[in-house]
Amino acid sequence: SHCNRILSTGMIFNQADQEVRDTGYHRHAFNVLISTRLGYHRELPDTRDSQCRDKVYPQALPSASVVICFFNEAFSALLRTVHSVLDRTPPYLLHEVILVDDHSELDELKDDLDRYVQEELQGRVKLVRNQRREGLIRGRMIGAAHATGEVLVFLDSHCEVNQAWLQPLLAPIQKDSRTVVCPVIDIISADTLAYSPSPIVRGGFNWGLHFKWDPVPTSELNGPGGGTGPIRSPTMAGGLFAMNRKYFNELGQYDAGMDIWGGENLEISFRIWMCGGQLLIIPCARVGHIFRKRRPYGSPGGQDTMAHNSLRLAHVWMDEYKEQYLSLRPELRERSYGDISERVALRERLQCHSFRWYLDTVYPEMQTVANGNKQQPPLFNNKGLRRPKVLQRGRVPELAAHIL
C-alpha cells in the first residue's frame, strides 16, 4: 500500500544513503533519499470528494501553459513535478510546460537536466535559464513571457498534480476570463513524502501581512456544488494557481520591484479582487506540495525580501490600512522600498476599488485594531451587521502552521 511503500523507501542501508539523506535535508529541507527512491512517477491517493468524480466538464477548454520556476530544487522533486503533469494532463489541454531555472547553483541542475529535458522530454518541456537570480516573482514573469497557451498555470517545483486536476481549473476561467483559480493544496510530507488530503480552507492574512488559512464561511458552502463547488477566497497561498494569460498581462502581471520571495501572493490577491476579478478555490482540483519546515535558501544579499515586498504592496494597495501593518512593524516606517510609481499608475489605470471596499466586501472577517496602538488590548471596530456568520474560528489543524 501507499504507506508501506513509504516506510520501506526511507530505510538507510549504507553510508551513501545516510549522506543523500543528510545533504538533502541540509540543501532542500526534505527527505531527498525517499524522493530519489520514489522516482519520477508514482500513484497518488485520489483525495477528491466522491462527488467530484461525477462532474463533467466541457470537452473544449482553453489550453494551458504550465510554468514552474525553481531555484536549487532537488532533481527528483523537480522531475516528479514535471512528470506528474505529463502523466495526468490530457495532451490536448497541455499546451506546454515551461521550466524557469532561477540561476540555480547545484550541479545536478546543469548538464544532467539539459540532457534529461532534451532526451527524455523531447520537445514537451521548455527550459529557460535566468542569467542571474531573479527570485520567484520576476522568475514567474519570465516564464509567462515565454508562454503561448491561453491559460497560465503556475506550480512550485516540488508538487505532484492529482487525478483530473486541470479540467476543474480551466472550466471557470473559460466561463469568465477574470476568474483566477487555485487548486486545493494537498500535503506531501517533507519527512516521508506521504501524500495526504488537505481540509477545505480558504486564504486570508493578518496585519503582519502573513498569509493564513481560514475556515470557510458557511455562506460559501451553500452554493449549487455544496462542498465541491468553487469557494471565494480573499487571498491565495501563492505557489499554485491558474489564470487567463491575457488577463495576467492586463492586470499587471506581478510587481517587478519585488525580490526573491514573499508578499506577491497578497499583492496579486488584492489586485484581482480590487480591480474587477475574483479568486476561487476549486475543491475538485488537487495538487500536492511538499511543505517544508524552513525555506532552505536565502536572498543573495541576505535582505528580508518579505518586508521589502510587503512594504511595496502596503503602499500601493492598502490605503489608510497600511497603518495596521506599520504599527506592528514600526522599524519599517523609515525603510526605503524603491519606486512604486508604476504600480500606483497601474492601480489608477485599472480604476480599482479601495482597500476598504475589499475588506468590507471580500474579507469582512478581518478585524482591525481601532487605533493601531499595540499597548492597549485590541479594540475591534468591525463587529458590524454586515459580517456573515462564519464557521467556528480557530486553528485549522496541520495547515495552519504552514505558509505556502
* Interface residues toward Mn ion, by CB under 5 A: 156
Take residue 126 and report the three cell numbers written for it.
521548455
Distance CA(208)–CA(149), nearest Å, equals 36
- Taking every pair of Cα atoms in the chain, the longest distance, rounded to a whole number of angstroms, is 64
Among 139, 183, 230, 252, binds ligand UDP (CB under 6 A): 139
Sign of the CA dihedral with 211 first, then 215, 220, and 226 last: positive
**Residue sitting closest to Mn ion (CB):** 156
Judged by CB, which is closer to ligand UDP: 228, or 305? 305
Total residues interacting with ligand UDP, rule: CB under 6 A: 17
Among 24, 135, 183, 234, binds ligand UDP (CB under 6 A): 135
Among 256, 332, 391, 404, binds ligand UDP (CB under 6 A): 404
Give, as one character, the DSSP assignment of residue 388.
Answer: P
Judged by CB, which is closer to Mn ion: 294, or 393? 294
CB atoms within 10 A of CB 334: 6
Stretch of 16-24, 70-78, 169-177, 224-232 lying at the interface with ligand UDP (CB under 6 A)? 70-78
Q: Coil, strand or helix: which one is 68?
A: strand
Burial class (CB in 10 A: 0-12, 13-18, 19+), 335: exposed
Among 213, 261, 325, 363, binds ligand UDP (CB under 6 A): 261
Q: Which strand (E) or helix (H) includes residue 230?
A: none
Stretch of 133-141, 165-173, 359-367, 369-377 lying at the interface with ligand UDP (CB under 6 A)? 133-141
- Shortest distance, CB of residue 132 to ligand UDP, whole angstroms? 11
135 binds, among Mn ion, ligand UDP, none (CB under 5 to 8 A by kind): ligand UDP
- Shortest distance, CB of residue 7 to ligand UDP, whole angstroms? 26
Distance CA(132)–CA(47), nearest Å, equals 39
Distance CA(398)–CA(187), nearest Å, equals 9
104 binds, among ligand UDP, Mn ion, none (CB under 5 to 8 A by kind): none
- Shortest distance, CB of residue 371 to ligand UDP, whole angstroms? 33
The answer to whether 157 contacts ligand UDP (rule: CB under 6 A) is yes
41 binds, among ligand UDP, Mn ion, none (CB under 5 to 8 A by kind): none
Take residue 172 and report the three cell numbers written for it.
471557470
For residues 80 to 109, the per-residue mask of contacts with ligand UDP, x marking binding by CB under 6 A and - elsewhere, is ----------------------x-------
Judged by CB, which is closer to ligand UDP: 260, or 362? 260
- Shortest distance, CB of residue 72 to ligand UDP, whole angstroms? 7
Distance CA(33)–CA(14), nearest Å, equals 12
Distance CA(147)–CA(150), nearest Å, equals 9
Among 20, 66, 69, 352, binds ligand UDP (CB under 6 A): 69
The answer to whether 204 contacts ligand UDP (rule: CB under 6 A) is no
Q: 98, 66 in Cβ contact below 8 A?
A: yes
Among 49, 52, 66, 71, binds ligand UDP (CB under 6 A): 71
- Shortest distance, CB of residue 242 to ligand UDP, whole angstroms? 16
Collect contacts of 77-80 with beta carbons under 8 A, ≥24 apart: 77/28, 77/30, 77/32, 77/35, 77/157, 77/158, 77/290, 78/109, 78/113, 78/157, 78/158, 79/40, 79/116, 80/35, 80/38, 80/39, 80/40, 80/41, 80/42, 80/160
What is the DSSP code string of 137-156? HHHHHHHHHH--SSEEEEE-
For residues 215 to 244, the per-residue mask of contacts with ligand UDP, x marking binding by CB under 6 A and - elsewhere, is ------------------------x-----
Q: 134, 107 in Cβ contact below 8 A?
A: no
Stretch of 68-76, 82-90, 249-257, 311-319 lying at the interface with ligand UDP (CB under 6 A)? 68-76
Q: Which of 280, 292, 343, 350 is nearest to 317 (CA)?
A: 343
- Shortest distance, CB of residue 296 to ligand UDP, whole angstroms? 8
Residues that bind ligand UDP (CB under 6 A): 69-71, 73, 102, 133, 135-136, 139, 156-157, 239, 260-261, 295, 403-404
